[in-house]
Amino acid sequence: MIGAGVLDDARALFEAASLAVPATVVSAEPIWQAQGARVASVSGSEDPVLMPDGERAKTLRSVAGLYDAFSARAIDRAATIAAFGGGVVGDVTGFAAASYLRGIRYVQIPTTLLAQVDSAIGGKVGVNLAAGKNLAGAFHPPALVIADPLVLGSLRRREFRAGMYEVLKYGVIASRPLFDRVSAQVRKLMSRDAAALTPVITECCRIKARVVEEDEFEAGPRRVLNFGHTVGHALEAVTKYRRFRHGEAVAYGMLAAAAISVSRGLMPADDQAALAEIVRRLGPLPAVSDLKVDELLVAMSRDKKRVAGTLNFVLCAGIGQTRIVPDVTPAELSAALVTIGAGA
């Protein structure tokens, strides 16, 4: 359910989906303090289960903390868990729900733009390991997703901008009209205009839903959603998840993938320039000049998308089109990393 104010109808939405109310809400302290009153209709008088936020909290330790909280509250399989927060809260809560008592129904109520258009939908949940991002996880679709643009008002500008890079990704992989809409409405979207945001969020969700419906368990076609993520995940890993917001790392990853796409003759140079221009207009990205190409290549060699030793890489065949290839070479990756500013 997507729309400005839709969270006001949360209890009715839970009941329509036959979900137990009150639900056990998992959130993070800053989110709960800023927005917790908005989910009072489903949380009732019960205090939320609070967990750390930020990418460094996306760990098995956080999952274990939720297990302990669920056990202390005597949660059973008839219960409903609600993840009220950004992508980290949603991923950790979803993984805990997938594995506690071998599976409990849960709801995603995303409070960041990135979560509303991406991580809260599609059913992929999990945590990071020291070796890399999202290496432990499950496919556990939420029973309900409530995406209300009005909760985005409390987001810091940098967090919101990180979500806009993920919105841009959907335009690049599947919709020239969405790409053009973002380009034309950058200022309105960045001002959190709900009337401008709602159709953009909806289109992103439609694109992801269509792709996931064709390939729920990522055997092939769903890999297009990873455009920009191979390099992006490497950037996050080598900086120990401290420097980049996920969307910022994906922005660099898209620019790197575009460079390879152009060098292979797949993507028109004009489309590459248009992508780079929107990334520039959305705002500054953290520096990468101190990161070494070799260490980024090592991080990519551990990517969970490798199958039988082959890394399937998503390239752009023009705005709105993708191509998955198994033969991107270390030399191509090195050149692309230098293009985005990584040090040789």
pLDDT digit string (tens) for the chain, length 344 residues: 999 999 999 999 999 999 999 999 999 999 999 999 999 999 988 899 999 988 889 999 999 999 999 999 999 999 999 999 999 999 999 999 999 999 999 999 999 999 999 999 999 999 999 888 889 999 999 999 999 999 998 899 999 999 999 999 999 999 999 999 999 999 999 999 999 999 999 999 999 999 998 878 877 788 999 999 999 999 999 999 899 999 999 999 999 999 999 999 999 999 999 999 999 999 899 999 999 999 999 999 877 555 545 678 999 999 999 999 999 999 999 999 999 999 87
The catalytic residue among 124, 133, 140, 305 is 124
> What's the rounded Cα separation, in Å, for the pair 274 and 280?
10
Specify the domain boundaries for CATH 3.40.50.1970 within the chain. 6-153
> What's the rounded Cα separation, in Å, for the pair 259 and 257?
5
Cis previous bond, 22, omega within 30: yes
Contact between residue 292 and residue 342 where contact means Cβ atoms under 8 Å apart: yes
Give me the phi and psi of 165, to 5 degrees please. -65, -35
Element (H, E) at 254: helix 246-263
Q: Tokens representing 203?
A: 């289109």
Q: Tokens representing 111?
A: 């409070």
Alpha-carbon distance values, 189 to 26, 193, 196, 242, 271 (Å): 28, 6, 6, 26, 21
Q: How many CB atoms lie within 10 A of CB 270?
A: 11
- 166 carries an active-site annotation: yes
> What's the rounded Cα separation, in Å, for the pair 162 and 73?
35
Unique residue bearing structure tokens 């995603």: 108
- 246 carries an active-site annotation: yes
Specify the domain boundaries for CATH 1.20.1090.10 within the chain. 156-339
The CATH classification of domain 156-339, taken from the options 3.40.50.720, 3.40.720.10, 3.40.50.1820, 1.20.1090.10: 1.20.1090.10
Contact between residue 260 and residue 328 where contact means Cβ atoms under 8 Å apart: yes
Give the per-residue pLDDT at 307.
53
Q: Among 316, 235, 329, 326, which residue's Cα sits nearest to residue 276? A: 316
- 292 carries an active-site annotation: no
Coil, strand or helix at 65 = helix
Give the pLDDT confidence of 31-46 residue by residue, as tens digits: 999 999 999 999 988 8
Unique residue bearing structure tokens 């733009």: 113
Whether domain 6-153 has CATH 3.40.50.1970 = yes
Give the per-residue pLDDT at 309.
56
Give the per-residue pLDDT at 304.
55
The catalytic residue among 223, 229, 245, 305 is 229
Contact between residue 178 and residue 200 where contact means Cβ atoms under 8 Å apart: yes
- 161 carries an active-site annotation: no
Give the per-residue pLDDT at 191.
95
The catalytic residue among 159, 216, 218, 332 is 218
The catalytic residue among 55, 166, 236, 248 is 166
The catalytic residue among 105, 128, 181, 226 is 226
Give the per-residue pLDDT at 305.
59
The catalytic residue among 233, 236, 245, 305 is 233
Alpha-carbon distance values, 196 to 5, 21, 34, 199 (Å): 14, 32, 23, 6
Residue 243, burial from CB neighbour count under 10 angstroms (0-12, 13-18, 19+): middle
- 140 carries an active-site annotation: no
List, as own/partner pairs, every contact residues 272-281 make where C-beta atoms lie below 8 angstroms and the sequence separation is at least 24, other chains included: 274/179, 274/183, 274/319, 275/168, 275/172, 275/319, 277/183, 278/168, 278/179, 278/182, 278/183, 278/186, 279/165, 279/168, 279/251, 279/254, 279/255, 281/186
Give the per-residue pLDDT at 128.
92
The pTM of the full predicted model, rounded to 2 decimals, is: 0.92
Element (H, E) at 155: none
Q: How many CB atoms lie within 10 A of CB 292?
A: 13
Q: How many helices (H) and strands (E) does the chain have?
A: 15, 11
Specify whether the backbone of 285 is left (phi greater than 0), alpha (psi in -120 to 50) or beta.
beta
Q: Among 181, 207, 183, 210, which residue's Cα sits nearest to residue 195? A: 181
Contact between residue 142 and residue 120 where contact means Cβ atoms under 8 Å apart: yes
The catalytic residue among 181, 208, 245, 305 is 208
Give me the phi and psi of 84, to 5 degrees please. -115, 95
